[in-house]
Amino acid sequence: EIDWSDIISTVEFNHSGELLATGDKGGRVVIFQQEQENKIQSHSRGEYNVYSTFQSHEPEFDYLKSLEIEEKINKIRWLPQKNAAQFLLSTNDKTIKLWKISERDKRPEGYNLKEEDGRYRDPTTVTTLRVPVFRPMDLMVEASPRRIFANAHTYHINSISINSDYETYLSADDLRINLWHLEITDRSFNIVDIKPANMEELTEVITAAEFHPNSCNTFVYSSSKGTIRLCDMRASALCDRHSKLFEEPEDPSNRSFFSEIISSISDVKFSHSGRYMMTRDYLSVKIWDLNMENRPVETYQVHEYLRSKLCSLYENDCIFDKFECCWNGSDSVVMTGSYNNFFRMFDRNTKRDITLEASRENNKPRTVLKPRKVCASGKRKKDEISVDSLDFNKKILHTAWHPKENIIAVATTNNLYIFQDKVN
Amino acid sequence: MFPKPPSLGKVLIFWQSWWDTQEKEGILPERAEEAKLKAKYPSLGQKPGGSDFLMKRLQKGQKYFDSGDYNMAKAKMKNKQLPSAGPDKNLVTGDHIPTPQDLPQRKSSLVTSKLAG
């Protein structure tokens, strides 16, 4: 029986890969830290251990609409490290918070007026003066909220993205995108607004948004209709008109009731190089060259066998699942999750793909993962799994790849798996 | 000497069977699923991605009658998880009109994430 609040809702490595943050439905953030490499045991990279955990968001009540505001953490994004402390942004549906995570490994001892436990001494008993000194103590990691960016979103926040200027960031909800300055909490600029004057005319919503990794004036946002718009903030203050529109033409004879639903983009991620972007829709992962708007340059089928199951996937709402996707550090491999605790990797150079499983039952620690195969139809070979025996409650929606090494973090419903490639 | 070209009849047969294969592999699965769905729910709207479906998405979140209803629901959930919650506060209803101070407040989570376990 899974405790609802333990369901992992986001996973993100920091810029160096030393820290890994997870957010859950209970509004908590857990940060893992990679052990510093043991010089003697150079055959494996350091393991990740719990570094800090804190309650980021609490549930709230929207009095105007009588709606609950969930404390679920939708996204976490790290700031690059500038000093000894680490900073991250975490957001739920309505409020974004900037958290400072700092270490304390020394404390002052030898106060004149206070005992070691904090009680004040009777001043009349003080006969000599001494200078307090800092003494080492057990490492304590503290998290404190430094900024709270609230009340800027009428709809539910789905994305936050820090600009390459490291001063501003964007937050996107279903209909609007706002630009914030990290230092200023009482004001934000609206840069995209797709809310129609008449809500009856609503045909699409914003599903994800991200800043370009190098150009601080450029960002993209994806829609529920399968389009991606690239906007340039130098063009105008309100970027309602896109600079580029990425859309793959659809053969109208192929259209079905499900077409629009499965074309809805659940995640968009720029490559580290900034030349490409990747989108995830229900059945596939697409790589787009920013210089070509009329179709993606690469398409990878994640679980095409589900196309003949769309009716039941619509009935059990699985067709609305929002899978994320990620690049490896060199942009040569992309990864995304699927059902039955399977996740998939596609090598863009060799065009080879692999399906792996994140589960304790089938994999012992420190053994190489065995590739999995789903049998779509016909005779099932030994070790293959048939589509009908897939567990659709075991979804891998969130995955992350270490920015520099081949270490991946894969979140099943309420467990976090960290895999690394064999180092010899 | 070139091989004799196939007669027109044979070409047509080839084309038809190729098209049938295409249909079976590509287009039919989705359409078959659509037919299944329409058979189960004949009243399903013509615009699948249209306003109703999107409006439902914008409106996500559990609705309560009012803030009192919300706080009571939260308290019920909390009381299940923390049986040590003050018994006095639970005896409020039925005896007198509760005041905001009497209603159980939502306590901050004392339960740490199992990942931090």
pLDDT digits over A243-285, tens only? 999 999 988 888 898 999 999 999 999 999 999 999 999 999 9
CB A268 within 8 A of CB A327: no
**Partner B contacted by A69 (CB < 8 A):** yes
**Partner A contacted by B45 (CB < 8 A):** no
Please determine, for residue B12, whether its predicted confidence score (pLDDT) is greater than 60. Answer: no
**Block residue for tokens 């939708």:** A74
pLDDT at residue number B16: 55
Please determine, for residue A40, whether its predicted confidence score (pLDDT) is greater than 80. Answer: no
Residue A336 one-letter amino acid:
T
DSSP lists the bridge partners of residue A270 as A277
Q: Where are the beta strands (DSSP E) in A18-132?
A: 19-24, 28-34, 48-55, 60-62, 67-69, 75-78, 86-91, 96-109
Nearest-angstrom CA–CA distance, A336 and A400: 9
Please determine, for residue B95, whether its predicted confidence score (pLDDT) is greater than 80. Answer: no
Q: How far is CA A128 from CA A112, A123, A124, in A?
A: 8, 11, 11
Please determine, for residue A131, whether its predicted confidence score (pLDDT) is greater than 50. Answer: yes
CB contact under 8 A, A199 and B51: yes
**Partner A contacted by B52 (CB < 8 A):** no
A158 CB neighbours in chain B (<8 A) are none
B55 CB neighbours in chain A (<8 A) are 199, 202
CB A153 within 8 A of CB A173: yes
Please determine, for residue B25, whether its predicted confidence score (pLDDT) is greater than 50. Answer: no
CB contact under 8 A, B49 and A310: no
Find the range with the poorest average confidence among A13-22, A248-257, A356-365, A392-401. Answer: A356-365
Summarize pLDDT for B78-94 with one digit per residue, the tens.
776 544 444 444 444 55
What 8-state DSSP symbol labels residue B52? H
Residue A148 in 3-state DSSP?
Answer: strand
> CA A99, A104, A108: angle at the middle one, nearest 5?
135
Instruction: DSSP for A219-286, please give it.
Output: EEEEETTS-EEEEETTT-SSTTS-SEEE-----GGG--TTHHHHH---EEEE-TTSSEEEEE-SSEEE
pLDDT at residue number B5: 62
**Partner B contacted by A316 (CB < 8 A):** no
CB contact under 8 A, A254 and B30: yes
Nearest-angstrom CA–CA distance, A174 and A307: 27
CB A221 within 8 A of CB A231: yes
Confidence of residue A58 (pLDDT cuts 50, 70, 90): very high
Question: In angstroms, what separates the C-alpha of B95 from chain A's closest C-alpha?
Answer: 27
CB A309 within 8 A of CB A383: no
Confidence of residue A29 (pLDDT cuts 50, 70, 90): very high
| 322-381 in chain A: CB under 8 A from chain B | none
Question: In angstroms, what separates the C-alpha of A131 from chain B's closest C-alpha?
Answer: 38
CB A169 within 8 A of CB A89: yes
What is the ipTM score, two decimals? 0.75
CB A83 within 8 A of CB A101: no
Choose between B85 and A158: higher pLDDT.
A158
Average pLDDT of chain A, as a whole number: 94
**Partner B contacted by A59 (CB < 8 A):** yes
Nearest-angstrom CA–CA distance, A296 and B58: 29
CB contact under 8 A, B106 and A311: no
Question: In angstroms, what separates the C-alpha of A265 from chain B's closest C-alpha?
Answer: 13
Find the range with the poorest average confidence among A69-83, A247-261, B31-45. Answer: B31-45
Quick one: what percent of chain A has pLDDT higher than 70? 98
pLDDT at residue number B90: 45
pLDDT at residue number B91: 46
CB A59 within 8 A of CB B77: no
pLDDT at residue number A363: 72
* Number of residues assigned to chain B: 117
State the CB neighbour count (10 A cutoff) for residue B68. Answer: 12
Of A68, A205, A310, the CB nearest to B57: A205
B65 CB neighbours in chain A (<8 A) are 66
Question: In angstroms, what separates the C-alpha of A259 from chain B's closest C-alpha?
Answer: 9
Tell me, yes or no, if the pTM score tops 0.95. Answer: no
CB contact under 8 A, B40 and A311: yes
CB A155 within 8 A of CB A142: no
Confidence of residue A314 (pLDDT cuts 50, 70, 90): very high
Task: Give the residue-averaged pLDDT of A391-399.
Answer: 97
Question: In angstroms, what separates the C-alpha of B114 from chain A's closest C-alpha?
Answer: 7
Nearest-angstrom CA–CA distance, B54 and B66: 25
pLDDT at residue number A379: 75
Query: Quick one: which of A418, A417, A393 has its CA closest to A407?
Result: A418
Give me the helices (H) in A316-407, please: none
Summarize pLDDT for A321-338 with one digit per residue, the tens.
999 999 999 999 999 999
**Partner A contacted by B111 (CB < 8 A):** yes
Q: Which residues contact A211 (CB under 8 A, 6 or more apart)?
A: A161, A162, A163, A164, A169, A170, A218, A219
pLDDT at residue number B85: 40
Query: Quick one: which of A269, A254, A272 has its CA closest to A214?
Result: A272
Question: In angstroms, what separates the C-alpha of B28 from chain A's closest C-alpha?
Answer: 9
What residue in B sits closest to A52 (Cα-Cα)?
B116
Interface test with A, best of B23, B41, B63, B115 (most A CBs within 10 A): B115
> CA A7, A11, A17: angle at the middle one, nearest 5?
150
Domain residue ranges of chain B, discontinuous segments joined by +: 1-61
Find the range with the poorest average confidence among A45-49, A344-348, B11-15, B103-107. Answer: B11-15
DSSP lists the bridge partners of residue A222 as A208, A228
pLDDT at residue number B86: 41
pLDDT at residue number A118: 81
| 243-282 in chain A: CB under 8 A from chain B | 253-254, 256-261, 264
Please determine, for residue B111, whether its predicted confidence score (pLDDT) is greater than 60. Answer: yes
**Partner A contacted by B27 (CB < 8 A):** yes
